[in-house]
Amino acid sequence: MDQINSSASPHMAQRREWLFIVLAGFFITNAVTAELISNKLIDIPVQFALGSGQIGPFTTVIGVVLWPVIFLVTDLINEFYGPKVIRRLSWITSGLIAYCFIIVFMSMAVPANTAITPDTATDAEFNKVFGQSRFVILGSIVAFMFSQLLDATLFAWIKRKTGNRMVWLRSTGSTVVSQLFDSFIVLYIGFIAPGTIPLDDFWGIALTNYSLKLMIAIALTPVIYLTHYAIRSYLQIAHEPAL
């Protein structure tokens, strides 16, 4: 784990603290946002002919675009603060996600006042926007915790094997595996368990979901190196080998 030693100046220690606050805040905000919007299914307008048939367009959840970013931040925190820190932050974030949904459900139970301003959202409109299946919420939290803990464990294991080399392997490699479980767990608990969608659709959505996360994660590889370089420069840590 990259750490500033105990003799580091108060100024550098303060930089390290502020960096953690920014990364943790970004991590929590994106995780909560992804959970709030992930009950919406969208179509990916990509299709192509295969023999006499046609494949596509594909269906996935809108929150899929945020998860590769969340796992990128996960790996940055793991890299510079250690797996114990990201595990604790993941547990805290899971609690905050649950807290967010509790507040949402409480707000749904309070009647709307449309007498003063008729244009105010009615209960039906408000609940339609913020209401989510309990199974979707449960699946999201379970998938989040499982994938986060798996990602942190794999990241630390790969780093022990490779040292400071192969940043792309420990970052993208851990994400590829953890996102596979995340994609299937959340959809199975959220949509298959309550019988919302048929099993055939589940496989198609889950595979599309994972494929998109995989492509985004691979596309973010240059960003991984840029952020590593920027953070090491900011914390005045020696730069590691490029590959």
Please give the span between the terminal C-alpha atoms of the chain, in angstroms, as a whole number: 17
Indicate the SS3 state at residue 47.
coil
Residue 6: pLDDT band with limits 50, 70, 90? very low
What is the helix (H) or strand (E) element at residue 18, kind and residue range? helix 10-37
Cis peptide preceding 57, ω within 30 of 0: yes
Return the amino acid letter for 223.
V
Spatial separation of the C-alpha atoms in residues 166 and 174, rounded to whole Å: 12
pLDDT at 94: 93
pLDDT at 2: 47
Bridge partners (DSSP) listed for residue 44: 58
CATH number of 11-235: 1.10.1760
Each residue's pLDDT tens digit, 126-185: 777 677 667 778 888 898 899 999 999 999 899 888 887 888 888 888 888 888 888 888
Q: Report the percent of the chain where pLDDT is more than 90.
A: 22
Phi and psi for 60 in degrees, rounded to 5? -150, 180
Each residue's pLDDT tens digit, 99-113: 988 988 888 888 877
Give domain limits for the chain: 11-235
pTM of the model: 0.79
pLDDT at 240: 63
Residue 8: pLDDT band with limits 50, 70, 90? low
